[in-house]
Amino acid sequence: MVETLPDPSASDPERIKQELMAEAERELARRAAEESRKKSRPPADSDAETVLSGETLRVGGTSVYRVMHPASPVSAMVASALLAALAMVAGSGIGLALGFAPTAEDAYSSVGAMHDSAAGAALRSIHYQGANVLVYLSVVYVMHLIWSGFFRRPGHWIWWRALALCLLVLLFGATGQLLPMDQNAVHGTHIRLGYLAEVPVAGEALRSALLGGDEIGTATVARFYALHAIVLPALGLVLLRRFWRDARQAQASRASLLAHGLVIGLTVLLVLFLGSVSPAPLGLSGDLGEPFEDARPEWYALPLYQLLKWLPAGVMQLLGLVVLPLGAAAFLMVLPWLERVSAEPARLRWPLRLLSVAVLALCVGLGVWPLIEDVRANEGQGAGLFARHDVEHLMEALKRRNDALGHSRHEGLPDDAHRHARDIWQLAQQLREPLRRVPADERAKYPERPILVDYNLQPDGRLDDVRARRWREWVDAMEAGARRLYAANSDADQRKAREEIRKACVNCHDSYDVNDPVNPEPRRVVFVTRTVEVKPEIKPEVKPEALLFFDEAKFKGLKAAEVPGKTSTLMKRMKTCCVELLQHAELLKADKPPTRSIEQAFLDLQACSAPLPVIHDQFKKTFPYPGWKQACDDTDLALRELLKARRGDDFKARILKLGRACDTCHELNEEVDFRFSDLFK
């Protein structure tokens, strides 16, 4: 362009006008050149929302533009949500660390103390659900970078920092799961360390370094706590510094400050809502010596858990445990070398999008599958998070805790009595929950696995209000004793609280068909000899049927209770029915009144004796068949004669005949120490 110069011979006004026109032409030319340069610039990739400078680099003959952070509203919003979740997890973690005792003996108690307080429970729930939200947001952030194509160079450092954030969050979860030291934490960590030992070359060394001994103990808790509270947070601070820089660049997008504040507020509300709806769980105290089949990993590890269940042990399981995760991590790491940001259309945009969606769908399917299996496990009783334990399971757990506390009132309590007290407290709360009416189809479907409510139902399936009220009273008494033992400081208070727990257990066992010893000091059953004074006056004539011990009219409408499937429980019920019949006849005096009527006790006794001839196969080695069959025949005959018994000595003679039939069978096996005749001593 030839620039027009002003005419020097022109007058001043004319010359000034020419200068202004020349300046305007230069400005218009500059703007036209700028617009032309913008139009000729190669556009940014449609799948990589990048901020491109005007400078280009020549790399291998390809024009590559300098790339900063993807300045998109999605990146900015996810970064703000991640920082908010990180702040909540870090803040609640500091509060929990102030009250945590990193030893195997006190870790569970310290977490339990925090769990029982309102502030501690809130901190645990925020920390627990904040970590879950953090895992979710980390995955969303990585998926967004894949979807937008920002894994490519020269944006690879942002991509690698996102992968490092995901790895760090998973390590936080793996090291933090052991710290509560409950059953799921101890057994789950034991299983994971076993898998770690199977890794070739360095697996056993890593397991020994983390375990710090032959089994999970104080050294293990201390090392996991150091990793969770010191090492990983230090690495997180280094990563957070770079991530904060990336987030500030992302906030240069079109998103307003109000939008960022709204996202942060929604993240905080989400964590608080999840914490209130699903608080941080705390099960029974961890003990590897106690079987625990309900150990499950965290929700984000369920896909790998299900995959390992399907793969056969050996090489295939090793491939799924080591090769598959490491291969996926290596593939994600080398993605920046597969493609660059350039003027050419992205080659891997749609293949990676489809692959990421397929992998996500596969992980969701593998994660949901074990949940469905747990719901249907154990004939509908459930497992894992959905386990509904019956009364036998809960009572076995109670028995182990009571045995650990000691039986005799002269025996001292163990040092970890407070831990067992808290377990009894939790078990008492579980025992109270199933007091409800069970549908008839559910009772018929699982006859061999009685639900707790079966112990509080009448034979027709209706809820027995009297039994339910007594049950609640005993459970409340046991829970109150456990609370006192948990808070007791002196030895005298601990002994007193233990006696309260023992008394509640004894009262319950006396009223139900349970005769397991709770207290080694036997309860006395006194035989009462009644002396009837004969009066000289003439008694009115009484019809013979009025002297019968059993009222035939009262049998109408009654139905025998369901016969237990377990032989030992069946024998205990027969014994209880006999004792209650003796109580009704005023031949025995016990601490608690009978819970059955006379006719109901006889029906239950008769129903329990019916399957005796067919269960001999369980006792072939200890009971000879001829003696067993003879005892069963004598029992059946004695029951039929007992039904016709009259009040007084006739009933006593007939029930003693029934007792002799029982003792004849018991004498065939030295391991059976109960004798019917002992009731009258």
If one compares 341 and 376, the residue with the highest pLDDT of the two is 376
Per residue in 585-609, pLDDT tens? 877 776 667 778 888 888 888 888 8
Give the per-residue pLDDT at 246.
63
CA 144 distance to own-chain centroid: 32
pLDDT in tens, 549-580: 887 777 777 778 777 767 777 788 888 888 88
Structure tokens that stand for 111 in this block: 């977490």
The CATH class, in words, for 67-380 is mainly alpha
- Fold for domain 389-523? Four Helix Bundle (Hemerythrin (Met), subunit A) (1.20.120)
pLDDT tens digits, 2-40: 555 555 555 567 777 777 788 888 888 888 887 776 555
- Tell me the backbone φ, ψ of residue 597, rounded to 5 degrees: -75, 170
Q: What is the mean pLDDT of residues 290-305?
A: 86
Please report the pLDDT score of residue 607 as a whole number. 84
Q: Which residues pair with 52 in a beta bridge?
A: 67
Per-residue pLDDT tens digits for 42-58: 444 333 444 333 334 44
Is 0.75 surpassed by the pTM of this model? no
Structure tokens at 661: 């039939």
* Rounded distance between C-alpha atoms, residue 133 and residue 657, angstroms: 71
Residues in the chain: 681
pLDDT average, residue stretch 255-279: 88
pLDDT score for 119: 93
- Residue 94's CB is within 10 A of a number of other CB atoms, namely 13
Provide the 10 A C-beta neighbour count for residue 545.
9
The two tokens of residue 484 are 């006192």
Q: Please give the mean pLDDT across all residues of the chain.
A: 76
Which residue has tokens 């937008």?
148
